[in-house]
Structures are given as structure tokens and as C-alpha cells.
């Protein structure tokens, strides 16, 4: 048996300014001012404890403002101050994402994930170089509107995209069409992630790269209840069984919880105790234009086989 993998006792900060179609313009007083394509949005950000750097006039130019009371974002709503199209395009590495103003102050894209997508694309390129006759197999769990899935497919991977929301999967298919990737090998599956991975284990399936991006709480298409702290360990155990035995990689991202990234890193190390590989654990952060502040967004663990 390989030596038990150890999670490093240091935390990485992966900072990103986003990409050409996105910028964090300013942050502070529990808010963040962002540009998605041509649309500027003012959204809540509880961790922005500092003072904003830009004058009030800059914030007043936002096209839309999401207002919410405390953590009850589901009770909030968008206030449209300037005309915003029902949907508008943002390009990410040749993939077109159609964004919309949604509840929970969402727009259909998490730009801080860009470093993970780039990491995934590097793994795909390396796998294709070593096995040019094979398409790397990517499993994207809780795949949302499909940015990672479409980037992987565009890079030559065979992708299985799983999300419990019919609306999210339909939106992802729209993004596939907007990206002119209709012929790309993507399976779009509406299913409970835990049930799907358990079935894949029984089927003897394997994947080269697995992306896991779960919510704190959620419901599957048949009313299944998801609780992160109860469901994550068995889900990751099944993911470990699905990872290809030759070369593999996995990314776990966790949002909006009161927990340590070290805890999740050690969980991933535990479920991969029979595999040699390297870990990186830490936080994803978005940096403001000009680099004045960085807004923490999520915890992550990345693992790649030796």
C-alpha cells in the first residue's frame, strides 16, 4: 500500500482577477461591484468588511443591485437601475456563457473558478499528449450552467455533467449551443449526484478528472435531501473509486460555510489513502482591479496522482 498521503499544513491562496469578460471593480461594506461583460452589478458580499475604494458615484452606475437582509438572500430581489437584457453573453476561453439575473443574487457563473478550470485544462492537455488516441473522461458533479463542462469538451475531453436542477442543465445546454459545441461529447444528466456516482461505481466506470462543487444544502430531482456535512464523505469515497488507476485528478470546492479548508483537505486525503499523489488546499479569492483587496470566495482541495 502506498504511504498515506498527507495534506500540507499550509494554506494556499489562489488569486485570480477573473478573465477578459469579468472584473471585480470594488468591494467593501458587505458588497462587491462587478462587471460581467458589459453589465455592472452590485451584489452582497458578507466578507467584504473593509471600506470601498471607489467613490459612491462609481457604485451608482451599476445596472442592477441585489438587496437582501443578512443571510436571507432567498428573500432578496434585484433592483434594475439601468436596462439589462434578459440574458447577455460573456466569453470564457472560447466558450460563451449566457448570463441572467437570478435569485440568490446568482447570474449563472462563478468567475473565481477560473484557476480550477485552467488547472483542469492543463491536466487534459497532458493526458491527451500522453494518450493521443484517447479522450480524457471528465465528471462534473453539481455542474450548474456548464462552464467547466464546456471548457473541458472544447479541449477534447469526453464530459459527463450532472446536476439535480433541470433548469440548470437546460441553461447549460443553451450555453453549449451559444458556444457552437453541439457536437462535443457531453452527457447532460439531471440526477442526484450521490445516487449517480454510486451507480457509476456499480457499473465499473472510471474517470480521469472529477470536479465536485457541492452546495451546503440542496434537493435532488426526486426530492432527495443533500446536506454537505452528512453527504460529502460517502460521495467522495465513491469519487475515489471512480478515479482512473493510472492517471487522475480531482477538485473539491466548498462555498459559504463555517469550516476550515484543512478539514476538507484531510477528508480528501482519507478517501484517497490508497493512492499516491499531491495535494493543494486553500482558498479561492477574487482580486480587485488594481489589487487593493482580495475577496475570499470558497475553500478548495486539489489532488493529482503521482
For 110-138, write each residue's pLDDT tens digit.
999 999 999 999 999 999 999 999 999 99
Measured distance CA(67)–CA(120) in Å, rounded: 35
Given pLDDT bands bounded at 50, 70 and 90, which one contains residue 30?
A: very high
Over residues 275-292, mean pLDDT: 91
CATH of domain 22-105: 2.60.40.1180
Q: What is the CA radius of gyration of the chain?
A: 19
* Cell numbers 451559444: residue: 178
Over residues 221-232, mean pLDDT: 88
* Annotated domain spans of the chain: 12-16+109-305, 22-105
- Residue 173, classed as helix, strand or coil, is helix
Read off the C-alpha cell for 126: 497532458
Torsion of CA 270, 271, 277, 283, to 10 degrees: -70
pLDDT digits 0-9 by tens, 50-68: 999 999 999 999 999 998 7
Over residues 277-303, mean pLDDT: 92
- Given a cut of 70, whether residue 73 has pLDDT beyond it is no
pLDDT digits 0-9 by tens, 143-167: 999 999 999 999 999 999 999 999 9
pLDDT digits 0-9 by tens, 164-174: 999 999 999 99
Read off the C-alpha cell for 183: 457536437
Q: From edge to edge, which strands make up the β-sheet containing 209-212?
A: 12-16, 277-287, 294-305, 249-255, 209-212, 137-141, 158-163, 186-190
Closest CA relative to residue 125, chosen from 93, 156, 146, 92? 156
Read off the C-alpha cell for 203: 457499473
The backbone torsions φ and ψ at residue 244, rounded to the nearest 5 degrees and listed phi first, read: -55, 140
Report the CATH fold assignment for 12-16+109-305. Answer: Rossmann fold (3.40.50)
Given pLDDT bands bounded at 50, 70 and 90, which one contains residue 8?
A: low
Check residue 263 and give its pLDDT. 87
Check residue 1 and give its pLDDT. 46
Check residue 7 and give its pLDDT. 67
Amino acid at each position: 500500500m502506498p504511504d498515506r498521503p498527507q495534506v500540507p499544513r499550509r494554506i494556499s491562496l489562489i488569486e485570480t482577477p477573473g478573465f477578459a469578460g469579468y472584473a471585480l471593480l470594488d468591494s467593501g461594506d458587505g458588497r462587491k461591484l462587478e462587471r460581467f461583460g458589459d453589465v455592472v452589478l452590485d451584489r452582497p458580499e458578507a466578507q467584504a468588511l473593509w471600506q470601498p475604494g471607489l467613490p459612491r458615484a462609481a457604485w451608482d452606475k451599476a445596472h442592477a443591485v441585489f438587496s437582501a437582509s443578512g443571510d436571507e438572500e432567498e428573500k432578496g430581489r434585484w433592483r434594475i437601475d439601468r436596462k439589462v437584457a434578459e440574458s447577455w453573453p460573456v466569453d470564457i476561453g472560447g466558450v460563451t456563457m449566457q448570463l441572467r439575473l437570478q435569485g440568490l443574487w446568482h447570474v449563472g457563473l462563478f468567475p473565481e473558478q477560473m484557476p480550477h478550470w485552467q488547472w483542469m485544462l492543463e491536466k487534459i492537455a497532458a493526458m491527451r499528449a500522453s494518450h493521443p488516441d484517447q479522450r480524457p473522461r471528465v465528471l462534473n458533479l453539481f455542474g450548474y450552467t456548464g462552464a467547466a463542462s464546456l471548457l473541458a469538451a472544447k479541449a477534447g475531453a469526453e464530459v459527463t455533467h450532472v446536476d439535480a436542477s433541470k433548469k440548470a442543465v437546460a441553461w447549460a445546454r443553451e450555453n453549449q449551443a451559444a458556444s457552437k459545441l453541439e457536437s462535443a461529447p457531453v452527457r447532460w444528466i439531471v440526477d442526484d449526484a450521490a445516487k449517480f456516482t454510486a451507480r457509476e461505481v456499480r457499473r465499473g466506470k472510471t474517470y480521469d478528472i472529477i470536479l465536485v462543487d457541492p452546495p451546503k444544502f440542496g434537493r435532488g430531482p426526486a426530492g432527495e435531501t443533500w446536506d454537505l456535512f452528512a453527504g460529502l464523505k460517502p460521495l467522495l469515497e465513491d469519487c475515489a473509486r471512480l478515479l482512473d488507476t493510472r492517471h487522475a485528478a480531482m477538485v473539491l470546492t466548498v462555498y459559504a460555510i463555517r469550516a476550515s479548508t484543512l478539514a476538507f483537505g484531510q477528508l480528501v486525503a482519507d478517501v484517497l489513502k490508497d493512492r499516491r499523489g499531491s495535494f493543494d488546499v486553500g482558498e479561492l479569492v477574487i482580486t480587485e482591479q488594481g489589487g487593493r483587496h482580495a475577496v475570499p470566495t470558497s475553500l478548495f482541495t486539489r489532488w493529482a496522482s503521482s
